Amino acid sequence: ASMGRTVVELFYDVISPYSWLAFEALCRYRHIWNIDLRFRPAFLGGIMQQTGNKPPAMLPKRGEYMLKDMKRMAKYYQVPLRMIPDAFQHIMGTSSLTAMRFITAIDMTNPQYLEPLSREFWMRFWSQHEDISQPENLLVVAQQAGLSPELSQKALEMISSPPVKDRLKDTTTEALKYGAFGMPAVVAHYDGEPHLFFGSDRLELLGSVIGEKWLGPVPS
């Protein structure tokens, strides 16, 4: 890291819509704040399981609220996230494990594609409401993100390999070690210690802690 830059890690899973909001906002602040942003693809399912957390939609009233909240947040954050009435069935019926392993494989082999690839997964799942769990769909997402067929095919072959599985497990464990219980988990390394912030609506607080000014979700 360059001198004096605060390392900010974003632990995320593409099944999490709030992670998308935090991802885009932090990408915008990368050149405004004195931070070194690091993307840490992890597995939300593992975090929920290890901490005993439950998806918000398990509580019907909370689910109803979340649909409205996401609509407002998408507009406020200017992220093309579209909620559909059966969004929760859509989430509950999808495992992001394969997608997160695929993203991890790319992170290990061609990290320059990590940002566009992650964004394309959110676009596909949260904007187009398409499947992200089948191998052929992973390849479509990779193509959209600008990866060559060779790279995509190689990543696809890697998803069942121990190094990729272990890397995703390790990153997930690291998030848990910092105290994460959901996504997004943002960890700022400031003043010699890690500071955990949960959710996409705590970036103002993150700025305050690391001595940076929050200019809204779309700083121009």
Burial grade of 214 (CB within 10 A; 0-12, 13-18, 19 or more): middle
Over range 41-55, report the average pLDDT: 95
Over the stretch 58-93, which tens digit does the pLDDT of each residue have?
Answer: 888 998 898 999 999 999 999 999 988 787 787 888
Over the stretch 128-155, which tens digit does the pLDDT of each residue have?
Answer: 999 999 999 999 999 999 999 999 999 9
- Residue 89: what pLDDT? 80
Strand intervals (E) in 57-190:
185-190
Q: Judge whether 50 lies within some domain.
A: yes
Residue 35 parent element (H or E): strand 35-41
Q: Specify whether 16 is catalytic.
A: yes
**CATH number of residue 122's parent domain:** 3.40.30.10
Choosing from 2, 16, 127, 148, which is the catalytic residue?
A: 16
Q: Judge whether 153 lies within some domain.
A: yes
Q: Domain residues for 113?
A: 6-210
Q: Judge whether 157 lies within some domain.
A: yes
Q: Judge whether 219 lies within some domain.
A: no
Predicted structure pTM score? 0.96
Q: Judge whether 116 lies within some domain.
A: yes
Q: Is the pLDDT of residue 42 over 70?
A: yes
Q: Judge whether 220 lies within some domain.
A: no
Mean pLDDT of the chain: 95
Provide the number of structural domains found in the chain: 1
